[in-house]
Structures are given as structure tokens and as C-alpha cells.
A and B are shown apart, each in its own frame.
Chain A
């Protein structure tokens, strides 16, 4: 009896889903094109946010066109190109001052039309990540980075990876939701070094 009822319920659910699916008139790709055309027409520059920002670059286009899951070949090609363009520090040193790193991680300013273009941007890191144990107001869009260095060690490879990841998250994960801070010119070499120290320095509260 139970099974029968369940089966009946499942049929109703399938019918409902079929009804839901019968809506759209055009394909996903066509609606995406309509969205892009509408956005191009309906947005205007404000402050530092110029109109050109609504135009997608290569990586954004690949992620938009394939709903963040581009075919493997394209993914590999673009990811390698992003990695090749990561600018590593000329002096070969990756670790800055973790205290400065904490300040940068806390700051959410930069790049909005209400931010002044000539002031340095922050990292927005706490908006998306748990980092230091003392900060309880943190976002959860990205994984927790608490004890990041403790679990990974502080080897040159890890330092280089961490620097490169902050410089360009898409060099490792093409459609990551994390911004490409170095690539976008949001954070400079020194700022990224401070952030690497925040995550990897054994003296940083992150690793205590």
C-alpha cells in the first residue's frame, strides 16, 4: 500500500516536473544572448565602473557559455594560459608580514563605483573565508583557511602555489568564484606577499 502511494506520488511529481519544464520558448544559449544584449544596452558608467566592465573576457566567456563547466580541452587551454601569465616576485621571496596581511584580508573596499579609484583595494578575503581564529564575522563562499599553513607546511612549493592562487585563482580552477586579484590589478606584489604570510607564517594566528 505504502509503495503504491509512493509510486502514485512519484508520478504526480514527474507530471509536475514535466509541467515546469514546458515553459521556456528559446534555448538557454539564446536567453544568455538576450541577457547580454540587454545588459549592454541597460548599463551606464558610474564612478570608476566603466561600461566596458560588462564585456566578458575569454575566461568569463568560457565559464558563462558552459555554466561554469567548460569542456575539458578548453578548460585545460585557458587554465594553462592563466597560469603562464602569473607574475611571480622577481626576488623569489613569497612571505611578507602577516600583520599587514591581516589588514588587507579584512578590507572589503575597492572597484565598486562608490570606491575612489586611486585608493588601494583590499582583499575582501574575510567576505568569503574564515581565516584568523579571532575573527568570527567571516563569509562562507570559499573554504575555511584556518590552520592553512599548519596542515600544508611552509615549503617553497606551497608558498609559490599560495602566491599564485591569490594572484590568479583561475590558474588552478577556471570557473572559481574567487577573484583574480593580481591579474585584475586589485592587489600588488607586496600585498599578496603579506597575505601569503598571513596564511603560511608559523607565527601567524592562522597557524597557532
Chain B
């Protein structure tokens, strides 16, 4: 069996499971009001501003080596191509010998191709409540993600290295430690649970996993900041009372492989709006 056909098989199997499960009854959504609001807001999607900035950054010659990402960064779809790249990451990149999610890959390109220093990017990778602007990397991720709007997640789980990241991510989500004995699964391991009024997606199911990755990168109404999936992982580890995951590290990619892989076959709607 070759890798491509096993990938296809996995894709069709998650899609079939998704179909059969989506019929299952959903708990009543106490966040219906927000959903209505979000739907209205998306008519004039604030994320688009960040996409435009990201596109400029993608195409500009920058960094000590004065090259653009458009001419030097391969996201897996050919040099500089962003179309359909986001819904196919995390994937394995031979040049880096690593499975990388979109943000990790772009950072890798900025360092290896443009000559930026990793530590400079990692110093402040997420927009804080008092920052007027999102970091460049957030704009870039948002632009890349916009190239996959309305496309199906298609993480290449047939690739053994990606599969390893997926399975390690699954084990990471179940790993309990810290002063409160929490794991991701404490809060996201079963259907229909809430913390206060916030619904908690069950990341092990196709419907839960897609909720976990849908709308990211997202414009967060709490604080009016633009944030990526990398940030979401970081903040959930904070709530989990863990120390901090290093920025753009394998541990985070593994979790994103798990969630995105469980979303395979379902449509990604592009950068969006979050509570």
C-alpha cells in the first residue's frame, strides 16, 4: 500500500465517521446568541485586515537575506504557494526533517530563508491586550490560512511521520500532571461539557475537533486581538496550570496534528471571529 492511497483511505474514513456522527443529538447551545452575533460580524470579517497585512509581508523582500517568503518558502504546495496549504498542515517537511503546523513552518522559513532570529520572533509571538498591532507572524499565518477558505481539512495522516505526530498529540491530550491533575481531556474529553457558560468541544470527535480549529486564526472580541491556534494551545496550557509550551515547538504541533487530523474531510471556513 502506498502512502497516497492510505491517506485517501483515512480521509474517506474520517469523512464517513463525521457523517454518521453529525446526526447525533447536540446539547442545547447556551452560546446561540454569540453565534448569531458572530454570523452577522462575519459579513464584514475583521480578520480580512490581517490577511491583507499578511499578504504584503509574504510578498515583501525582508530580513537580513532580503528575500520574500513568496519566493523562498514552500508550505508543501510548491514554492510560495499558499492555496490549500493551511488545510494540509501539519505535514512533514523533509528540509526541516520535522512535522510542522502552519505557524511553525512560516517561522522556520523566516529563520532559514530570510535570516531572522528565532529568539526575536519567539520573544512576543502573540498579541496582548495592550498591543495595538498583531505581530507579523500572526498576520502571515492569517494570510496563509485565508488561502484555504472553504476547503476541506486534508492532513496527510497516511504519512507515518504525520501519523506519529497525531498519535503523540493524542497521548499529550490525555497526559495529566500539575497541581490540579489536569489534562486537555479533563475539559475537552467528553461531549457536551462546559466551564461556566463556555462550551468545551470534545477534541476526540470529528464535530468537536473541527470546533477546536474552526475560526482560527481568529479576531477575538474579548480584548480585540488577532490570535492563532498556537496562542489557543498556549492559553489552554495556562488554564491547565502547566508551565509554558515553547513557541512553535513540536509539542504544540503534535496537538494541532491531532485536532486537525480529527477534522479531516470537514470544511475550514477561513480566519474568523472568536469570543
B-binding residues in A (CB < 8 A): 13, 16-17, 19-20, 22-26, 28, 31-32, 34-36, 38-39, 41-46, 49-51, 53-56, 59-60, 63-64, 67, 111-114, 126-128, 137-141, 170, 177, 179-180, 184-186
CB distance from A24 to the nearest CB of B (A): 5
A141 near B254 with CB under 8 A, answer no
A22 to B10: give the CA distance in the assembly, Å: 9
Q: In angstroms, how far is the closest chain B Cβ from the Cβ of A37? A: 9
Q: Is B60 an interface residue (CB 8 A)?
A: no
Report B-chain residues with C-beta under 8 Å of the C-beta of A54. Answer: 177-178, 242-243
A111 touches which of B163, B180, B192 (Cβ 8 Å): B180
A residues in contact with B131, CB < 8 Å? none
* 12 A-B contact pairs sorted by A residue (CB < 8 Å): A20-B14, A34-B168, A35-B171, A41-B250, A42-B249, A46-B243, A49-B241, A51-B243, A54-B243, A67-B174, A112-B239, A113-B243
Q: Mark B10-22, 1 if CB is under 8 A from A, else 0.
A: 1011101100100
Interface residues, chain B, with chain A CB atoms under 8 Å away:
6, 9-10, 12-14, 16-17, 20, 157, 160, 163-164, 166-172, 174-182, 186-187, 192-197, 200, 238-239, 241-246, 249-252, 254
State whether A19 touches B179 (Cβ < 8 A).
no
Q: In the bound complex, do residue B241 and residue A53 qualify as a contact, i.e. CB atoms below 8 Å apart? A: yes
Query: Of all chain B residues, which has the CB nearest A27?
Result: B167
Instruction: Check B10 against A23 for contact (C-beta < 8 Å).
Output: yes
Apart from A13-B16, A35-B254, A42-B250, list 20 A-B contacts with CB within 8 A.
A23-B10, A23-B166, A25-B167, A31-B164, A32-B174, A35-B171, A38-B172, A38-B254, A41-B249, A41-B250, A50-B243, A53-B242, A54-B177, A60-B177, A111-B180, A112-B238, A113-B243, A127-B195, A177-B181, A179-B179
- Is A20 touching B13 in the complex (CB atoms < 8 A)? yes
Q: A24-B167, A39-B251, A114-B238 are in contact. Are A141 and B195 (CB under 8 A)?
A: yes
Contact of A126 among B167, B179, B196 (CB under 8 A): B196
Q: Could you tell me if B194 and A112 are in contact, using CB atoms closer than 8 angstroms?
A: no
A137 to B195 CA separation, bound complex (whole angstroms): 9
In the bound complex, CA of A111 to CA of B178 (Å):
9
Residues of B close to A186: CB separation below 8 A: 179-180
List the B residue with the shortest CB-CB distance to A126: B196
Give bound CA distance, A142 to B167, whole Å: 28
CB distance from A10 to the nearest CB of B (A): 12
Q: Which residue of B lies closest to A37 (CB)?
A: B168
Decide: A38 and B168 in contact? CB cutoff 8 A. Answer: yes
**Neighbouring B residues of A138 by C-beta, 8 Å:** 194, 196
Lowest 9 A-B CB distances belong to which pairs?
Answer: A42-B251, A35-B171, A42-B249, A179-B180, A46-B244, A31-B167, A49-B243, A35-B172, A53-B178
Q: In the complex, what distance in Å separates the CA atom of A13 from the CA atom of B21?
A: 13
> Which of B17, B176, B243, B245 lies at the interface centre, i.e. has the most chain A CB atoms within 10 A of its CB?
B243
- Note all chain B residues with C-beta closer than 8 A to A35: 168-169, 171-172, 175, 254
Chain B residues, Cβ within 8 Å of A55: 177
Chain A residues in 8 Å Cβ range of B246: 42-44
Give bound CA distance, A42 to B17, whole Å. 33
Whether B177 pairs with A56 at a CB distance below 8 angstroms is: yes
Q: Select from chain B the residue with minimum beta-carbon distance to A35.
A: B171
* Known contacts A20-B13, A34-B171, A138-B196; A43 and B179 CB within 8 A of each other: no
Contact B164 A38 (CB under 8 A): no
Which chain B residue has the least Cβ–Cβ distance from A138?
B196
Whether B172 pairs with A39 at a CB distance below 8 angstroms is yes
Nearest opposing residue in chain B for A15, CB measure = B13
**Shortest Cβ distance from B8 into chain A, in angstroms?**
10
For A184, the closest partner residue in chain B by CB is B179
Nearest B-chain residue to A36, judged by Cβ = B175
Give the docked Cα–Cα distance between A63 and B177 (Å): 10
Q: Is the CB of B243 within 8 A of A139?
A: no
| Smallest beta-carbon distance B138→chain A, Å | 20
Contact for A19 among B13, B164, B195, CB less than 8 A: B13
Q: Is the CB of B193 within 8 A of A139?
A: yes
Residue in contact with B196 in the complex, picked from A22, A26, A113, A139, CB distance below 8 Å: A139
Expressed in whole angstroms, the Cα–Cα distance for A199 and B181 within the complex equals 23
In the assembled complex, the Cα of A152 lies from the Cα of B200 at a distance in Å of 31
